[in-house]
Structures are given as structure tokens and as C-alpha cells.
């Protein structure tokens, strides 16, 4: 069964979640274009989730995003609708296209909606028994040729497949957040995998305009394989620095150095907040279960006991976690001993920053280096300066830098990634780092 035929009946499980909604959007757009170009076929996208309100929110999201997409694609729409005499203006075509997108979408809470689907995307909560149960139900419900593409970011696929009795029919299709924007797609092919599914997964990735990095079926894969260990490094540094500077300053300093001195888009604790402290813990637990590699942080457990979770609101705003945010800006640090956020004022920031010593000149930042044609040269110069000097900030940065490299090389050594280049690709494309961790800068 070819891709176009499979795309005629698709289901997304967990469609209203953060990742599920993005995957649903990508598919809804693709199906709408296909429907316009293949008028003799019907296309159906079954969007399944557990809450009615969330599904209504999903429709609203699809409508808004499809409108934005159509506004960018008006020239294409003018060609597609060339034979529609009733559609003359750009605005009319945008409206018609949004209508077309929603025409193929069907939402509901029952898994039975997927009964004719031959392609199922699963983006349910990251819990093994939940996923296994879903797969068992789908296997009983759907046509025998049904394939599952799961967005799991940590659970080994062979475990899920064997437990659910669907070996060969499942592949890892790990999108990055937000799926409609992020170019990276980590494809995890378990040892037992139907060649047709492997072929289809590659073809669809191309259709959706994604850049694929293959990963082996080892818990955490490449993305979380690096991120979890990177986070644990930051947490260990906090425990060390806290003895001298106290906990609040330690969190602030490690976050700042991992952002401003390593030239990353977010500091490590802002990133954990972005992903969600709860999700971070969940993934650590999954990975530890299969890898037994000391992937555990008492600090993370303590935070969750105190109800500090991070993550995002339904409108996409950052919720407070390690750090407190005001319109996306960091304005405080959580003090777990006193169970409150300590506000960061200018004098406090200035005094705390001084603990690091001066930032290497010229002062580069992640933002200033975006699309810089001399990026490599500037990074080289910057890290050369770090190499040649020493200050508390530089030492923190170097240690983090080297830990990240070591983690990356281990991912290759352990057979998670095919090459260091693939790890670098995941970090640059999926985490928007300016440089891959395996490099000769330091």
C-alpha cells in the first residue's frame, strides 16, 4: 500500500497535546493539498484525544495555523484554484483552503474513530503501559496493514512492540517541539521493522520537509540521551556550587553560564522548565529503567513533591519551574528550602554575575550569531579565549562543554547514534545550538 493510499485514512492519538497538535497540523495541511490535487480520492484525518475541550482547542489551533500557512502559500493557492472561477481574490482562496483543511478532519474521544486507518500517529503520554494498551486496542480494531508511528522520545520500541504484539508494524517518529516548525525528525527503527514501513517513514519525512536523523532503539535515543545527561550535569553543578553560594545563586549561575557562555538559546534550567520538570523526571525514570546508568536527580524529585512543574499553559506561555517567568523573561529563581521564588533585582544580578568574572570579549551571544556568515570563525575565537584564560565562569563553561561532548561521544560508542555528526545534527537542528557538541573548539 503506497503512502498516498495510506494518507487517505490517518489517525493521531493524543492529538490535542503539545506534540500531537503540531503533528495533526502537519498532516491536516498535507492532506488538504493532496485532496486538492487528487480530486478522485477522499482523505480523512481522525484526531483522537481524551478531552472534548482540548479537541475544540485543537480545531481552533488548526484553523489559526492553517490560515497563517495559507497566507504564506497564496501563490501556490492561486495556481491550485486557477480553475475555480468563484475564487478570485487572495482572501477568498485563503478562506477556501482553511475550509478544505477542516473538511478532512474528524475529532473524537473514541479510538474506534481510527478503525479504517492504515497509518496511526501516536503522541500519547510518555507511559509504557498506556502506550501498550493503546497499541493492543488499535491492533484489534484497525486493518491488518495498519502501521504505527510513535512520537515516544525515550521508551525502547521493541519493548512496546513485543508487549503489544505488533512487532514489525511500529517505528519511532520523534518530532521536535513545535513539530510544524522544527525541521528535525529522529527516526528510530527497531530491529524488527517491516521494510515497507521503513520506506514509508522515509518518504513521508521528505514530503513533510523534515531532516531525518536515524537513531537506534536504545532508551532516550539521541535527543534525550544527550538532554537528560546535560540536565543532570547542570543539577550536579548546582549541588556543588550551592555549598559555597547557596542554592538560588547556584541555579542562576549554572543557567546563565549554560546560556550566555556556551552560547545556547536557553540555559539548562530554562530548557528543563520548557520541557516540563515532570516530563524530565518521567524520561529519566524510563531511561534509568533500561540503562541503569545513575540517571536520577533527588533535586528533580523534590521539586515535583513541592508541585513545581514548569511546562506551558494551553496558550503556550511558560509556566514557572526552576525559574519564574514574566512574559518569557526570567524574573526569579525557586528556593526549595523556603518554598518560594526569589525575585531577581538588578543589584542582585550584578553582584551574582560578578562571581563568574568577566564574559570573554568580544561579547558574543546566541542571538547575535544567528545567520552570521563567520559563525565558525567567531566560535573558534571565542572558545580559544576561554581556553587561554581562567575564571569561575570559564571553568563552569568548560566543564559543561566537555561533559556535553563526552555524552555525545558515548552516544556513538554505545551505538545510539551512527556518528558524532548525527549527534551534532540533533543538537543544532532540534535544540537550535549554534554548534554541535563534538567539535575541536576546546
Partner 1 sequence: MKPMPKSLYLAAGAYTVSLGTGRPEFNPRKPRPGLEHYIQEAGQASLAQISDPNLIDEGVIGNFMAARFNKQGHLGSLMTIAHPALEGKPMIRVEGACASGGLALATGIKSVLSGLAESVLVMGVEVQNTVKAIYGADILAGAGWYAGERKQGGTYFFPEKFSQRAGAFGAKFGEEKTRGAMAAWYATAVENARLNPLAQEHHNAVKDLMAQGLTPPDGRSFCEHLNLFHCSKVSDGGAAIIVCSKEGYKRLGLKRDDVVKIVGYGHAAANLTVPPPDLTELTTSRKASGLARKMAGISKDDYGVIEVHDCFSITGMLSLEALELVAPGESVELVIAGENKRNGRFPTNTGGGLVGYGHPTGATGVRMAVDLWKQLTGRAGDYQIPLKKEHGIMISMGGNDKTVVSLVVRK
Query: Using CB under 8 A as the criterion, which residues of the chain lie in contact with partner 1 when the complex forms?
Result: 71, 74-75, 78, 85, 88-91, 94
Shortest Å, Cβ 98 to partner 1: 14
CA pair distance 260, 365, nearest whole angstrom: 6
> Would you give the DSSP letter of residue 111?
G
Shortest Å, Cβ 94 to partner 1: 8
Contact 4, 42 (CB under 8 A): no
Buried-state track 77-96, b at ≥16 Cβ within 10 A, e below 16: beebbeeeeebeeeeebbeb
Helix (H, G, I), strand (E, B) or coil at 156: coil
Residue 76 vs 380, nearer CB to partner 1? 76
Residue 82 vs 347, nearer CB to partner 1? 82
Residue 78 vs 380, nearer CB to partner 1? 78
CA pair distance 274, 374, nearest whole angstrom: 30
Q: Could you tell me the CA-to-CA distances from 89 to 37, 62, 427 in Å, in that order?
A: 20, 22, 42
Shortest Å, Cβ 313 to partner 1: 19
Shortest Å, Cβ 248 to partner 1: 34
Length of the chain: 442
Residue 36 vs 192, nearer CB to partner 1? 36
Residue 76 vs 285, nearer CB to partner 1? 76
Shortest Å, Cβ 74 to partner 1: 4
User: Of 399, 408, 411, whose CA–CA distance to 238 is shortest?
Assistant: 399
Shortest Å, Cβ 68 to partner 1: 10
Residue 1 vs 74, nearer CB to partner 1? 74
Question: How big, in percent rounded to 5, are the helix, strand and coil portions of the chain?
Answer: 50, 15, 35
CA pair distance 9, 116, nearest whole angstrom: 7
Alpha helices in 104-181 (DSSP H): 128-141, 157-164
- 36 Cβ contact partners less than 8 Å away, ≥ 6 residues apart: 80, 100
Residue 74 vs 266, nearer CB to partner 1? 74
Shortest Å, Cβ 92 to partner 1: 8
- In the block, residue with C-alpha cell 526552576: 322
CA pair distance 208, 205, nearest whole angstrom: 5
CA pair distance 71, 350, nearest whole angstrom: 45
- In the block, residue with C-alpha cell 521564588: 341
Shortest Å, Cβ 249 to partner 1: 36
The neighbour count for residue 377, using CB atoms within 10 Å, is 10
Residue 81 vs 441, nearer CB to partner 1? 81
Shortest Å, Cβ 327 to partner 1: 13
- 195 Cβ contact partners less than 8 Å away, ≥ 6 residues apart: none
Shortest Å, Cβ 386 to partner 1: 33
* Cell numbers given for 143: 486493518
Residue 85 vs 129, nearer CB to partner 1? 85
The neighbour count for residue 202, using CB atoms within 10 Å, is 16
CA pair distance 29, 34, nearest whole angstrom: 9
Residue 78 vs 236, nearer CB to partner 1? 78
Shortest Å, Cβ 328 to partner 1: 15
Residue 40 vs 85, nearer CB to partner 1? 85
Shortest Å, Cβ 82 to partner 1: 8
* Cell numbers given for 344: 531577581
Residue 93 vs 287, nearer CB to partner 1? 93
Helix (H, G, I), strand (E, B) or coil at 21: helix
User: Of 10, 172, 35, whose CA–CA distance to 96 is shortest?
Assistant: 35
Amino acid at each position: 500500500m503506497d503512502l498516498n493510499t495510506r494518507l487517505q485514512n490517518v489517525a493521531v492519538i493524543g492529538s490535542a497535546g503539545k506534540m500531537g497538535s503540531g503533528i495533526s497540523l502537519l498532516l491536516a495541511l498535507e492532506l488538504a493539498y493532496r485532496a486538492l490535487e487528487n480530486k478522485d480520492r477522499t482523505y480523512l484525518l481522525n484526531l483522537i484525544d481524551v478531552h472534548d475541550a482540548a479537541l475544540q482547542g485543537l480545531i481552533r489551533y488548526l484553523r489559526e495555523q492553517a490560515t497563517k500557512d495559507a497566507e504564506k502559500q497564496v501563490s501556490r493557492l492561486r495556481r491550485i484554484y486557477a480553475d475555480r472561477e468563484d475564487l478570485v481574490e487572495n482572501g477568498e482562496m485563503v478562506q477556501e483552503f482553511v475550509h478544505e483543511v477542516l473538511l478532512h478532519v474528524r475529532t473524537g474521544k473514541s479510538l474506534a474513530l481510527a478503525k479504517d486507518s492504515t497509518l496511526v500517529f501516536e503522541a500519547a503520554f510518555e507511559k509504557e503501559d498506556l502506550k501498550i494498551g493503546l497499541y493492543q486496542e488499535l491492533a484489534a480494531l484497525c486493518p491488518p496493514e495498519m502501521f504505527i508511528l510513535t512520537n515516544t522520545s525515550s521508551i525502547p520500541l521493541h519493548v512496546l512492540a513485543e508487549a503489544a504484539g505488533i512487532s514489525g508494524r511500529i517505528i519511532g517518529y520523534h518530532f521536535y517541539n513545535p513539530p510544524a516548525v522544527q525541521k528535525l525528525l529522529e527516526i528510530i527503527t527497531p530491529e524488527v521493522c517491516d521494510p515497507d514501513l521503513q520506506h514509508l517513514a522515509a518518504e513521508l519525512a521528505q514530503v513533510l520537509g523534515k531532516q531525518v536523523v536515524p537513531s537506534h532503539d536504545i532508551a532516550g535515543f539521541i535527543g534525550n540521551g544527550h538532554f537528560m545527561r546535560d540536565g543532570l550535569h547542570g543539577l550536579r553543578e548546582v549541588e556543588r556550587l550551592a555549598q559555597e553560594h547557596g542554592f538560588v545563586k547556584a541555579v542562576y549561575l549554572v543557567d546563565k553560564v549554560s546560556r550566555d557562555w556556551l552560547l545556547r538559546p536557553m540555559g539548562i534550567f530554562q530548557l528543563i522548565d520548557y520541557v516540563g520538570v515532570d516530563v524530565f523526571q518521567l524520561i529519566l525514570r524510563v531511561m534509568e529503567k533500561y540503562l541503569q546508568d545513575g540517571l536520577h536527580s533527588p533535586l528533580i524529585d523534590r521539586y515535583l513533591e513541592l508541585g513545581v512543574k514548569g511546562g506551558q499553559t494551553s496558550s503556550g506561555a511558560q509556566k514557572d519551574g526552576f525559574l519564574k517567568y514574566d512574559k518569557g523573561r526570567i524574573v526569579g529563581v525557586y528556593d526549595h528550602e523556603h518554598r518560594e521564588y526569589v525575585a531577581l533585582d538588578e543589584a542582585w544580578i550584578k553582584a551574582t554575575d560578578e562571581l563568574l568574572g568577566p564574559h570573554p570579549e568580544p561579547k558574543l551571544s546566541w542571538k547575535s550569531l544567528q545567520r552570521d556568515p563567520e559563525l565558525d570563525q567567531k566560535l573558534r575565537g571565542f572558545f580559544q579565549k576561554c581556553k587561554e584564560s581562567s575564571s569561575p565562569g570559564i571553568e563552569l563553561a568548560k566543564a559543561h562543554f566537555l561533559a556535553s561532548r563526552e555524552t555525545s561521544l558515548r552516544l556513538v560508542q554505545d551505538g545510539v547514534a551512527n556518528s558524532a555528526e548525527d549527534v551534532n545534527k540533533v543538537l543544532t537542528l532540534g535544540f537550535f545550538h549554534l554548534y554541535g557538541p563534538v567539535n575541536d573548539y576546546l
